[in-house]
Structure 1
Amino acid sequence: MDDAIMQSSSSTCSYVDKDHSRSILHIDLDCFYAQVEMVKNPKLRSLPLGIQQKNIVVTSNYEARNYGIQKCMLVTDALKLCPNLKLLNGEDLHEYRAASNKIFELLLCWKCPVEKLGMDENFIDVTKLVLDKVKTDNHTLVGHLYNKPSTDCPCGCHSRLTVASQIANEIREKIYSDLGFTTCAGVAHNKLLAKLICPLHKPNNQTTIFPEHAVEFMSTLQSVRSIPSIGLKTTDTLISHKIITVSDLQQVSLDVLKKIFSSDMAVRLKSLSLGEDTTPVKQSGKPQSIGLEDSFKTVSVKSEVEDKFSALLQRLLVLVREDGRIPVSLRVTLRKRDAKRLSSHRESRQCQISPSIFTIASGTLTITDAGQHKLMSIIMRLFNKLIDLSKPFHLTLVGLAFTKFQERMTGRSSIVNYLMNDISVQSVLNLQNDCDTSATSMDYSAASPSSSTTTDLSDGEVEPSPKKPKKVTWIAKRRCLSKEEVASPSKLKVSELRLNSKELEKVSELRLNSRDRSLTPRASPAKDVLSDADTMKDVAEGGHCDDCPSYVDKEVFNSLPDEMQQELKAMWKNPSSSEVARSSSRMTNKSKPNTILKYFVPHK
């Protein structure tokens, strides 16, 4: 099987059994950081320019690269190669992020899936767009072609990729005309080949590769580390088995790889070495987290750490303001220096934060000085959990990140906050016409303003549904006592759902009297039976309140339904029997019809 695939490096398309249906573009910005600075200041275009972060030149323009300056070179070494090198500080990524977002938004205009890969790279799946255009005649490939084929592939991929090269050229011209950035592009039938072929003719150019030349092209890579998704540890493992180049990986048998790695990993490595990749282009959305980090040689004083966090927070709030979403979770990251281990390791803690810290003014997310002070308190509290201040510590990195967001506002003036705090409104909305006393609470998809900010939760719920107040259930039950049909919630009056002060006083006095009587010595069972018989006789007569206690308003009593009057009279004559009946009912777990005691006298 492997031999058959290896033969596909010839000019004929011999692996027609593979899927070539997709058309993938990889768009890469030329010397991105440097180009952002050159677009801002065109005078820098003719100068050797380097972007400095700490003591490293992270990138440079092509004028500087002509002097031999490379990425991540020390500033001192770069200045030796090019004494007239113009250095600009690039530690603040704000303008670079803004430029990246503009490019991403422009790419979305082609109505195709766009997947961001860092700030300066994007994948675009133009398969559907190609299928619409390939039907027309006279297609000419734009840019460079990796190795010309002698025959066409039966599946028609050559024509599709030719059309894709035209689309890539249109996209690159649009980026330059609208934003002023030059780009390079790779055109292939999968993401792996599109990315690897993209830089072949840098800068400001593009290259297309047909499927039958995948194995040949991959064999030219001098290190297995050149393949995306093969990390340092995997590379070291392969090198330890004398698999150094991609060609070595192509030639080694799958059985040998399965002895080194898991079966799935072995198959994956083999496929990558042959230029095979089936991963889809996933449409990118807003980032799941927004964070910043600051590295340094060492910091061992709490006040210095607080200054570092404060500076990071100010920069992070700018990014959050541009994002527009409301953060509800904050993460603190530290990198400690361990002298014994002679290595660094990271630790992090995160917790929920209340969205009420942020406000929206004129459509813009803002935060007050008090809100920033509250965030700093949370940050330092998390720091104290990560560091034992009673012992010396040495940090080489601090980081802050907002890790969860919500799209809507729940501040003091929001409708959600109003509904959560206004009991009367909640009680109206929770009523049901069928008198369902087990009505569920409203489903709020917003965090409560009183959400805890001190609990460490990695994946905790940040938008809990508030508990329904007990008063809501009580009012709903009281409403169900009426035999009349419940009106529409919009027509109900809140005042009708509440007890007035006189009624509350009577209920309170009724409870106290019932409890006092329950403490009196219980009569003998025989006497209880006689009392119950007398009570039932009086209850049967009904409609009078001659035996009502002095604290009962007769007018109110007579307005109650007959069942309530009878039960109240029975309770007044023998309160202990009512307690026994309720206790017996609970012990037997038998359902009991609604009674006045169920609502006015608490269960014990």
Structure 2
Amino acid sequence: MESSSSSCYNHSSVSSDHPKSIIHIDVDCFYAQVEMVRKPELRSLPLGIQQKNIVVTSNYEARKYGIKKCMLVTDALKVCPSLKLLNGEDLHNYRTASNNIFAALLHWKCPVEKLGMDENFIDVTNLVEERVKNGGDGFSLVGHVYSEPMSECICGCHTRLKVASQIASEMRKKLFDELGFTTCAGIAHNKLLAKLICPLHKPNDQTTIYPEHGASFMSTLQSVRAIPSIGSKTTEALISQKIVTVSDLQQVSVDVLKKHFSSDMAVRLKNLSLGEDNTPVKQTGKPQSIGLEDSFKTVSVKSEVEERFATLLQRLLVLVREDGRIPVSLRVTLRKKDVKRLCSHRESRQCQVSPSIFTINNGTPTVTEVGQQKLMTSIMRLFNKLIDLSKPFHLTLVGLAFTKFQERMTGRGSIVNYLMNDISVQSVLNITNDCDTSASSMDYSAASPSSSTTTDLSDAEVEPSPKKPKKVNWIAKKRCLSKGEVASPSKLRVSELRLNSRELEKVSELRLNSRDRSLTPRASPAKEISDTDTMKDVSDAGNCDDCPSYVDKEVFNALPDEMQQELKAMWKNPSNSELPRSSPRNMNKAKPNTILKYFVHK
């Protein structure tokens, strides 16, 4: 290992403050190990995972024979005739194993960020701080260290990274004991160094690197492409300037880099070459899209394309069931081969999907055969838009993906579920009836999985609008919400008026958002009301002495006056509480704007 005579607080390229403790965990030969966990008898055999005609990965027993990643199957069998090959094109078992590993890492209650299926970043900064406070100074490092420090860093990062190495060891032990996976780990003060130092002692081991050795470690990398944030185009641009190794990048000045890259990019490239990275660990949630692809040499017949789409759809619906969300958008991707130019390019088209195609069984979204036929119709319609069938075509890849989702809301019997406007609904919460036009008096929140008013549209027949939901500009209007200006509820239909105070509060809040209308008082559709009559009606309506026992008087008094009168009339004459069913004869007749119109199910 390369040592350094300078401490981290006087190193020219490293700050003296290194507060974070980051762990990067990588599963050894992931695909192969998943198969070995499922079938332990494979552990002692040279094993390769085959996709198409390529060995995408192999276990360490096979690597002893010279098997390498992405080697052709024919070449692999030449160097290792006893190689055991398993088809790895179905990723279901690998995704399941990846999710199990991710769930196990959440046990430490630290932010976990997935990187592909087999890698995870864990920010253990807070956990390390707690252990340092409670454990004194007797901490020892677990595993390997890139280079021993000459002196202690004044910020205390050496001690924190030692504690982080202990936590990394605990995580790796848990993954092996509970799931059977061996892993390697990298421990550093940032994500860049943690990832790059991780494979130094593969397999089944871990390495820690201190901040002052970041630049010297980076200088050992033989290609700038080894830095995760540098892609192929940037690599080509650097090589064109004779910047090949990371050491070359360290030596070039920022001013020279700015001649070929933007100012921000030049500074970032320089920092990365020195092992500096302030990228945070972002807690991974559910993916924004779920997709699958199938590549092949060439397909030129529509019927064969349809068969491949049908196979992909079946596998994709399995992933949707595991995910639990309801898709509302479908994307089709094709890779076309241009015979004249001997190259390929991708094209995609997407369309909306009606949520009614999916049904919920035991909390899991499923699709009937009829629903699958509808999806296939949509898929082939998109295919026809991408391909001119009057001309020959050659495809080398087809892909399917669901790209947008809605979360199902629990409590379908709730009255709130009937207040629907669109797939995305802006909820207005905690609105007080005060004449305050400041932003602090309103709490705007979009319907989301975490919102208490998430809209359930799984049974809606109408496809979602592609437009973004409109947001009520309350501040611009500078209006006060008085009793007379509360809008009547829209799209609210329930079979029986049995509202408790909590439901009435939700109705009062959400119906304001059920459509984007002005908050002008409703005029009576039948006739104009005089000021004297209005005052008398308000006085009578505000008196709730004869309300049923289940009605909250305070909530009742907060309702519009027209509602109060009609509710009282309904309670006095329950026999008249049902509206007659509509008939073709009176379908087009104007209907009175009564409370029963909104609350009584037809």
Counterpart of 1:445 (choices 445, 451, 455) is 455
Counterpart check, 1:173 vs 2:173: yes
Tell whether the 8 Å contact from 2:254 to 2:270 is kept in structure 1 after alignment.
yes
Q: Could you tell me which residue of structure 2 aligns to residue 397 of structure 1?
A: 397
Q: Could you tell me which residue of structure 1 aligns to residue 97 of structure 2?
A: 99
SS in 2 for 1:322: helix
**For each residue in 1:267-290, what CA deviation from the matched residue of structure 2 results, as whole angstroms up to 9, or x when unmatched?**
111000000000000000000100
Q: Could you tell me which residue of structure 2 aligns to residue 112 of structure 1?
A: 110
Tell whether the 8 Å contact from 1:410 to 1:417 is kept in structure 2 after alignment.
no
Gaps of 5+ in 1: 1-6, 422-432, 434-441, 511-604
Q: Could you tell me which residue of structure 2 aligns to residue 290 of structure 1?
A: 290
Tell whether the 8 Å contact from 1:27 to 1:183 is kept in structure 2 after alignment.
yes
Counterpart check, 1:12 vs 2:7: yes
SS in 1 for 2:388: coil
Match of 2:460, as an amino acid?
P
Q: Could you tell me which residue of structure 2 aligns to residue 387 of structure 1?
A: 387
Residues 250-265 of structure 1 correspond to what in structure 2 (within 5 A)?
Answer: 250-265=250-265
Match of 2:28, as an amino acid?
D
Residues 314-333 of structure 1 correspond to what in structure 2 (within 5 A)?
Answer: 314-333=314-333
Match of 2:286, as an amino acid?
K
Provide the rounded CA distance (Å) in 1 between the counterparts of 2:236 and 2:352. 40
Match of 2:116, as an amino acid?
G
Q: TM-score, normalised by structure 2?
A: 0.73
Provide the rounded CA distance (Å) in 1 between the counterparts of 2:528 and 2:148. 83
Q: Could you tell me which residue of structure 2 aligns to residue 33 of structure 1?
A: 31
Q: Could you tell me which residue of structure 2 aligns to residue 361 of structure 1?
A: 361
Please identify the structure whose Cα radius of gyration is greater: 1
Residue 99 and residue 414 in structure 1: after superposition, are their counterparts in 2 closer, same or farther (change >3 A)?
Answer: farther
Tell whether the 8 Å contact from 1:359 to 1:411 is kept in structure 2 after alignment.
no
Q: 1:446 Cα shift?
A: 4.6
Q: Could you tell me which residue of structure 2 aligns to residue 350 of structure 1?
A: 350
Match of 1:184, as an amino acid?
C
Q: Could you tell me which residue of structure 1 aligns to residue 68 of structure 2?
A: 70
Match of 2:91, as an amino acid?
L
Tell whether the 8 Å contact from 2:110 to 2:123 is kept in structure 1 after alignment.
yes
Provide the rounded CA distance (Å) in 2 between the counterparts of 1:314 and 1:460. 31
Tell whether the 8 Å contact from 1:479 to 1:497 is kept in structure 2 after alignment.
no
Provide the rounded CA distance (Å) in 1 between the counterparts of 2:179 and 2:56. 23
Provide the rounded CA distance (Å) in 1 between the counterparts of 2:207 and 2:63. 22
SS in 2 for 1:282: coil
Tell whether the 8 Å contact from 1:292 to 1:312 is kept in structure 2 after alignment.
yes
Provide the rounded CA distance (Å) in 2 between the counterparts of 1:199 and 1:279. 20
Match of 1:70, as an amino acid?
K
Tell whether the 8 Å contact from 1:416 to 1:444 is kept in structure 2 after alignment.
no
SS in 2 for 1:293: strand
Q: Could you tell me which residue of structure 2 aligns to residue 313 of structure 1?
A: 313
Tell whether the 8 Å contact from 1:183 to 1:203 is kept in structure 2 after alignment.
yes
Residue 212 and residue 410 in structure 1: after superposition, are their counterparts in 2 closer, same or farther (change >3 A)?
Answer: closer
Counterpart of 1:60 (choices 50, 58, 61) is 58
Q: Could you tell me which residue of structure 1 aligns to residue 21 of structure 2?
A: 23
Provide the rounded CA distance (Å) in 2 between the counterparts of 1:53 and 1:140. 44
Q: Could you tell me which residue of structure 1 aligns to residue 499 of structure 2?
A: none
Higher mean C-alpha displacement, 34-43 vs 337-346 = 337-346
Residue 339 and residue 410 in structure 1: after superposition, are their counterparts in 2 closer, same or farther (change >3 A)?
Answer: farther
**For each residue in 1:140-169, what CA deviation from the matched residue of structure 2 results, as whole angstroms up to 9, or x when unmatched?**
100000011111111111000000000000
Tell whether the 8 Å contact from 1:356 to 1:412 is kept in structure 2 after alignment.
no
Q: 1:236 Cα shift?
A: 1.1
**For each residue in 1:429-465, what CA deviation from the matched residue of structure 2 results, as whole angstroms up to 9, or x when unmatched?**
xxxx9xxxxxxxx998354723248x9x5x76699x9
Residue 500 and residue 313 in structure 1: after superposition, are their counterparts in 2 closer, same or farther (change >3 A)?
Answer: closer
Provide the rounded CA distance (Å) in 2 between the counterparts of 1:379 and 1:133. 54
Q: 1:480 Cα shift?
A: 8.5
The count of corresponding residues between Structure 1 and Structure 2 is: 478
Provide the rounded CA distance (Å) in 2 between the counterparts of 1:212 and 1:462. 52
Residue 342 and residue 401 in structure 1: after superposition, are their counterparts in 2 closer, same or farther (change >3 A)?
Answer: same
Match of 2:462, as an amino acid?
S
Match of 2:455, as an amino acid?
S
SS in 2 for 1:181: coil
Residue 63 and residue 452 in structure 1: after superposition, are their counterparts in 2 closer, same or farther (change >3 A)?
Answer: same
Counterpart check, 1:338 vs 2:349: no
Q: Could you tell me which residue of structure 1 aligns to residue 160 of structure 2?
A: 160
Tell whether the 8 Å contact from 1:475 to 1:498 is kept in structure 2 after alignment.
no
Match of 2:461, as an amino acid?
S
Match of 1:365, as an amino acid?
P
**For each residue in 1:158-208, what CA deviation from the matched residue of structure 2 results, as whole angstroms up to 9, or x when unmatched?**
000000000000000011001000000000000000000000000000000
Tell whether the 8 Å contact from 1:113 to 1:282 is kept in structure 2 after alignment.
yes
Residue 351 and residue 211 in structure 1: after superposition, are their counterparts in 2 closer, same or farther (change >3 A)?
Answer: same
Higher mean C-alpha displacement, 132-141 vs 160-169 = 132-141
Residue 83 and residue 500 in structure 1: after superposition, are their counterparts in 2 closer, same or farther (change >3 A)?
Answer: closer
Q: 1:209 Cα shift?
A: 0.1
Q: 1:253 Cα shift?
A: 1.3
Tell whether the 8 Å contact from 1:164 to 1:187 is kept in structure 2 after alignment.
yes
Match of 2:382, as an amino acid?
L
Higher mean C-alpha displacement, 236-245 vs 201-210 = 236-245
CA RMSD of aligned residues (A): 3.5
Tell whether the 8 Å contact from 1:10 to 1:213 is kept in structure 2 after alignment.
no
Tell whether the 8 Å contact from 2:220 to 2:246 is kept in structure 1 after alignment.
yes
Q: 1:389 Cα shift?
A: 1.0
Provide the rounded CA distance (Å) in 1 between the counterparts of 2:314 and 2:240. 46
Provide the rounded CA distance (Å) in 2 between the counterparts of 1:80 and 1:500. 79
Match of 2:130, as an amino acid?
D
Tell whether the 8 Å contact from 1:291 to 1:401 is kept in structure 2 after alignment.
yes
Q: TM-score, normalised by structure 1?
A: 0.73
Tell whether the 8 Å contact from 2:417 to 2:455 is kept in structure 1 after alignment.
no
Residues 473-552 of structure 1 correspond to what in structure 2 (within 5 A)?
Answer: 477-478=525-526, 483=534, 484=537, 485=541, 486-488=562-564, 493=570
**For each residue in 1:469-503, what CA deviation from the matched residue of structure 2 results, as whole angstroms up to 9, or x when unmatched?**
99xx999745995843335487674956969999x
Tell whether the 8 Å contact from 1:8 to 1:212 is kept in structure 2 after alignment.
no
Q: 1:19 Cα shift?
A: 3.2
Residues 67-216 of structure 1 correspond to what in structure 2 (within 5 A)?
Answer: 67-135=65-133, 136=135, 137-216=137-216
Residue 412 and residue 367 in structure 1: after superposition, are their counterparts in 2 closer, same or farther (change >3 A)?
Answer: farther
Provide the rounded CA distance (Å) in 2 between the counterparts of 1:328 and 1:492. 43
SS in 2 for 1:297: strand
Match of 2:36, as an amino acid?
M
Q: Could you tell me which residue of structure 2 aligns to residue 370 of structure 1?
A: 370
Provide the rounded CA distance (Å) in 2 between the counterparts of 1:460 and 1:300. 38
Tell whether the 8 Å contact from 1:10 to 1:212 is kept in structure 2 after alignment.
no
Residue 474 and residue 264 in structure 1: after superposition, are their counterparts in 2 closer, same or farther (change >3 A)?
Answer: closer
Q: 1:361 Cα shift?
A: 1.4
SS in 2 for 1:260: coil
Q: 1:240 Cα shift?
A: 1.3
Q: 1:340 Cα shift?
A: 2.5
Tell whether the 8 Å contact from 2:23 to 2:194 is kept in structure 1 after alignment.
yes
**For each residue in 1:279-319, what CA deviation from the matched residue of structure 2 results, as whole angstroms up to 9, or x when unmatched?**
00000000010000000011111111100100000000000
SS in 2 for 1:196: helix
Q: 1:40 Cα shift?
A: 0.4
Match of 1:12, as an amino acid?
S
SS in 2 for 1:27: strand
SS in 1 for 2:107: helix
Q: Could you tell me which residue of structure 1 aligns to residue 241 of structure 2?
A: 241
Gaps of 5+ in 2: 422-432, 434-446, 448-452, 472-489, 492-513, 542-561, 591-602
Tell whether the 8 Å contact from 2:330 to 2:351 is kept in structure 1 after alignment.
yes
Provide the rounded CA distance (Å) in 2 between the counterparts of 1:207 and 1:476. 77
**For each residue in 1:59-78, what CA deviation from the matched residue of structure 2 results, as whole angstroms up to 9, or x when unmatched?**
10000111111111111111
Match of 2:249, as an amino acid?
L
Provide the rounded CA distance (Å) in 2 between the counterparts of 1:223 and 1:178. 38
Q: 1:341 Cα shift?
A: 2.6
